[in-house]
Amino acid sequence: MSEVLCPPTSAAAAPEFQITPELLQRFDVAGPRYTSYPTADRFVEAFGEVDYAHAARLRVQGAAAAPLSVYVHIPFCESVCYYCACNKVVTKDHGRSTAYLDALEKEMALHTALLGVGQSVSQLHLGGGTPTFLNDGELSRLLAALRHHFKIAPGAEMSIEVDPRTVTRERLQHLAQLGFNRLSFGVQDFDEDVQRAVHRVQSFESVRFLIEAAREIGFESVNVDLIYGLPKQNPVSFAKTVAQVNSLRPDRIALYSYAHLPQRFKPQRRISTEELPAAGQKVGMLSNAIAAFLAAGYVYIGMDHFALPDDALAVAKRQGRLHRNFQGYSTQPDCDLVALGVSAIGHIGATYSQNAKTLPEYYDALAQGQLPIVRGLALTRDDLVRRAVIMALMCQGRLEFESIELSHLVDVREYFRSELAQMEALAEQGLVEIEPNALQVTRMGWYFVRAVAMVFDRHLQADRQRERFSRII
């Protein structure tokens, strides 16, 4: 494998650095994305509705509770995308939406019975599956129910994931009328051979039309999702897709690495491993894409996110206000999250909770007047300390010892003696800089920030079986 030259993480001039084959081989391992800590694979079935209710009561008893974030999972898709690892129900029967909306309304009522009706919501996100599987009337019904149970704050961030194949300009207009101000288009790749290989065909022209329409309608932000490492991709073909995306000028770009885990995700078994690009090609695609986005004026937010300089995400990074939650990087503070729908994951106080992963289980619980929570976790003091450290590294790329010591009443050098010793090796490889009172992720270290964070993951260090996670490269 030849050496790969990687660009700096900002548009400012800076010396290039080299990621050697040895470094790639060392860190081409599986690891968490750290949308939470501890990660969802650590949730236990011993945590259930009673534990969630206790956390909700503690929130209600707290003074001046912060606004909520709400996530709604819509699992339905008309066709399967072979790369997909999401919880989904593939069906062309749109009649199934009615029963699901009935269930969502029951679930909302159970949450607000604990938290109180009219709780302020500063962030609402509809994910899936395909949220736009719902027709206009069903989306109107869903938003009306949400507004009945919660108070969506003025200026709230309201986002929805959109399959370009399921919307028209008129549908986008309807989404705007419902209050959505941010759209995320799933693109993945514009190359026709790649699209056919993953069973998701959509033209560049159709996506361009929708993004132009979204701007004319007045959406505050448009995001485009891309995936590198898909079957039949190569650096040349993916560079063309990147150039096409740059020509569309979305406000944000999410660039994900494809995680091939056919043992866990059945649709991926339709992908031939022989058609997947080699590790060296994946690194080339990543490196070239980052260089192209930076050259086009995008800010490298971290790990897999880019944004235009005036986008709220880029502003938050400059101001040190970047956060990370189950939807990825966010401008929203670490607020409590109410999760609605099958498999959805919520966060209230020092707890995480997850709903049933199948529709029959989900429906059964609600039919009995119970929240469909089947597992979760009550965080320990150690979990909270380590979460603060990992999120500081993932979001700011810097760990200030004093901040952790004041917030959690620990001596960082003593508490993390072993972890800081491991940082010495990462410092020698150029991934971090160890200062007297801080730990700084370097420009090159941003490519491997998950590897830096993993050192502080006590659960992961105790269990070296990482096959459940996607690979870092």
pLDDT tens across 168-215, in order?
999 999 999 999 999 999 999 999 999 999 999 999 999 999 999 999
Asked if the model's pLDDT at residue 409 lies above 70, the reply is yes
Residue 229, domain member (yes or no) = yes
**pLDDT score, position 314:** 92
Mean pLDDT computed over 98-125 = 96
The arithmetic mean of pLDDT across residues 75-87, rounded, is 92
Q: How confident is the model at residue 104 (pLDDT cuts 50, 70, 90)?
A: very high
Residue 48 lies in a domain: yes
Looking at the fold, whether 82 and 154 belong to one and the same domain comes out as yes
* Same domain for 223 and 109: yes
Q: How confident is the model at residue 264 (pLDDT cuts 50, 70, 90)?
A: confident
Confidence of residue 13 (pLDDT cuts 50, 70, 90): very low
Instruction: Report the run of H or E that residue 69 belongs to, with start and end.
Output: strand 68-74
Percent of the chain with pLDDT over 70: 91
pLDDT band per the 50, 70, 90 thresholds, residue 464: low
Q: Is the pLDDT of residue 242 over 60?
A: yes
Across 409-417, average pLDDT: 96
Q: Does 406 have pLDDT greater than 90?
A: yes
| pLDDT for residue 414 | 96
pLDDT at 12: 36
CA atoms within 13 A on the CB side of 368: 10
pLDDT at residue number 11: 37
Per-residue pLDDT band at 473 (split at 50, 70, 90): low
Residue type at 97 in one-letter notation: S
Question: Domain of 161: which CATH number?
Answer: 3.80.30.20
Q: What local confidence, expressed as pLDDT, does residue 143 receive?
A: 98
The CATH number covering residue 429 comes to: 1.10.10.920
* Beta carbons within 8 Å of 33's beta carbon, 6+ residues apart: 303, 450, 469, 470
Q: According to the model, what pLDDT value does residue 235 have?
A: 93
**Domain annotation covers residue 356:** no
Confidence bin at 9 (pLDDT 50/70/90): very low
Residues 262 and 408 placed together within one structural domain of the fold: no
Question: Could you give the C-alpha distances from 268 to 175, 230, 264, 397, 434, in angstroms and in order?
Answer: 32, 11, 9, 33, 41
Whether residues 323 and 418 fall in one domain = no
Would 359 be classed as within a structural domain? no
Mean pLDDT across the chain, nearest whole number?
90
Q: How confident is the model at residue 356 (pLDDT cuts 50, 70, 90)?
A: very high
pLDDT band at 7, cuts 50/70/90?
Answer: very low
Domain termination site, one of 339, 367, 394: 339
Q: What percent of the chain has pLDDT over 90?
A: 74
Main-chain phi, psi angles of 288, to 5 degrees: -65, -40
Greater pLDDT, 64 or 177: 177
Judgement on whether residues 119 and 250 belong to the same structural domain of the protein: yes
d(CA 466, CA 132): 34
pLDDT at 303: 73
Q: How confident is the model at residue 323 (pLDDT cuts 50, 70, 90)?
A: confident
- Overall average pLDDT of the 94-110 stretch: 97
pLDDT digits (tens, 9 = 90+) for 114-157: 999 999 999 999 999 999 999 999 999 999 999 999 999 999 99
Across 52-57, average pLDDT: 96
Task: Give pLDDT, residue 468.
Answer: 54
Evaluate whether residue 158 is within a structural domain: yes
As for how many domains the chain has, the answer is 2
Q: What is the pLDDT of residue 60?
A: 92
Contact 237, 190 (CB under 8 A): no
Query: Is there a domain that residue 232 lies in?
Result: yes
Per-position DSSP letters for 88-133, written without gaps between them: -EE-S-TTHHHHHHHHHHHHHHHHHHHH-TTEEEEEEEEEES-GGG
d(CA 267, CA 263): 10
State the residue range of the domain holding 439.
Answer: 381-462
Distance CA 424, CA 433 (A): 9
What pLDDT does 43 receive? 96
The per-residue pLDDT for 214 is 98
Question: What confidence score (pLDDT) does residue 329 get?
Answer: 85
Report the predicted TM-score, pTM, of the whole model to 2 decimal places: 0.90
Tens-digit pLDDT profile for residues 366-388: 999 999 999 999 999 999 999 99
State whether 165 and 63 are in the same domain.
Answer: yes
- The pLDDT of residue 85: 87
- 200 and 57, same structural domain? yes
| 307 in any annotated domain | yes
Rounded to 5 degrees, φ, ψ at 260 are -90, 100
Q: Same domain, yes or no, for 398 and 322? A: no
